[in-house]
Amino acid sequence: MKNKPDLHTISQDYAVAVMGALEREAVSELSDIHSQVDHYSLLPAMRLETRIEFSMAASLVLEHHQWAGRLFEQDGFQELGKEIENGECDLVVGVDNAVHRLVTITALHLERADGHILTQLGKYTKGQTITSCSFPGTKQQPKEHPKDAVERLLKAKLRPYADEISVMYRELVDEQERVSHKYGVSSRYMRTLFAAVLEDVDFPNTTVTIPFDGGFSSLSRLSSRSSRSSREVRLTQGYEAFAFVHELESSSETKFIYAWMSPEDHALITGPDAGDLAQTWVNRLLVDVLTQPFVPNEQDGSFTAI
């Protein structure tokens, strides 16, 4: 180690990340047999400089043996390098010597007393609505562990609920893998999902209601009237789409859109068989209200665009 200072620094960073991860584990979850702490979960918690060294080593393998992206001769490899330098992803080499682009995400399964689940329907950015139905989440930032990321998520995106959250625990760690059309490499999305209960359901003056194009102030509950393949939608119960006031008042170009949904409809709209249901649904939202002034609604304590 003395003759290889770089390796010494990497070893130190790795050890610090391991200790930090173990310190954040509940005592009841610590075990010699099984641990939530693994190599992939440790990478985002390390110093960015060390992560870049790991990724640069993997990029040599990618560049010489595995690059399949059409943009390599253009700017694909350079764009991937920018993501790495910003801590937005890591390149890792698997046991089969295959290189993966690793994106680490932390999300929150937030449930109200009535059982409804907070569902992120999509986002409005630069005049466009992008549909992406999921649990609210965030990418882990450099030197963050999953627990740090979910706490930041509460303080930032879900600020009105931060003081009313209880029973928060790690629900699961899962991952999805798909080839990135942008980079031409296999991208692995590793998600740590936390579960929590929202004690209070009354948060006046914290949200702006997003109207539906049928003249209603709420979306309609989604359910399949016959087979899922037919994609028939039965309108049964209203869902209100909304955005948070603190986000609309911020300088961020991206505004997230949410709805509280039943577990059944949440599973349908976020599941692999959702098809174009989510896109059709979100496209009917009048998102222009997100750029307009708004006033309090005396009936329910929310805000309505002028």
Q: What is the pLDDT of residues 82-107, one digit of tens each?
A: 899 999 999 999 877 888 899 999 99
What are the DSSP calls for the chain, one per residue?
-TT-HHHHHHHHHHHHHHHHHHHTS-GGG--SS--S--HHHHGGGS-HHHHHHHHHHHHHHIIIII---GGGGTTHHHHHHHHHHTTS-EEEE-TTS-EEEEEEEEEEEEE-TTS-EEEEEEEEETTEEEEEEES-EEEPPTT--HHHHHHHHHHTTTGGGGGGEEEEEEEEEEEEEEE-TTTSSEEEEEEEEEEEEES----TTSEEEE-BTTS-SSEEPP-BSS-GGGT-B---SEE-EEEEHHHHTSS-SEEEEEEEE-HHHHHHHHSTT-TTHHHHHHHTB-GGGGGS-EEE-TTTS-EEE-
Q: Does residue 204 sit in the same domain as residue 80?
A: no
Q: Which of 97, 113, 135 is the last residue of a domain?
A: 97
Residue 183 lies in a domain: no
Q: What is the pLDDT of residue 63?
A: 75
The fraction of the chain above a pLDDT of 90, given in percent, is 30
**For the chain, what is the mean pLDDT?**
80
Q: Does residue 91 sit in the same domain as residue 240?
A: no
Q: Which of 97, 124, 148 is the last residue of a domain?
A: 97
Q: Does residue 42 sit in the same domain as residue 154?
A: no
Q: What is the pLDDT of residue 73?
A: 46
Residue 241 lies in a domain: yes
Q: Does residue 55 sit in the same domain as residue 114?
A: no
Q: Does residue 76 sit in the same domain as residue 42?
A: yes
Q: Which residues of the chain have pLDDT under 70?
A: 1-5, 27-36, 65-76, 167, 181, 184, 214-237, 275, 294-306
Residue 222 lies in a domain: no
Q: What is the pLDDT of residue 202?
A: 76
Q: What is the pLDDT of residue 167?
A: 65
3-state secondary structure 191-239: EEEEEEEECCCCCCCCEEEECECCCCCCEECCCECCCHHHCCECCCCEE
Q: What is the pLDDT of residue 160?
A: 92
Q: Does residue 128 sit in the same domain as residue 90?
A: no
- Which CATH number goes with the domain that contains 119? 3.90.79
Domains in the chain, number: 2
In 3D, which of 144, 103, 173 has the Cα closest to residue 20? 144
Q: Does residue 120 sit in the same domain as residue 153?
A: yes
Residue 206 lies in a domain: yes
CB 71 within 8 A of CB 36: no
Q: Does residue 130 sit in the same domain as residue 151?
A: yes
User: What is the extent of the structural domain holding 78?
Assistant: 7-26+35-97
Residue 243 lies in a domain: yes
Q: Does residue 84 sit in the same domain as residue 53?
A: yes
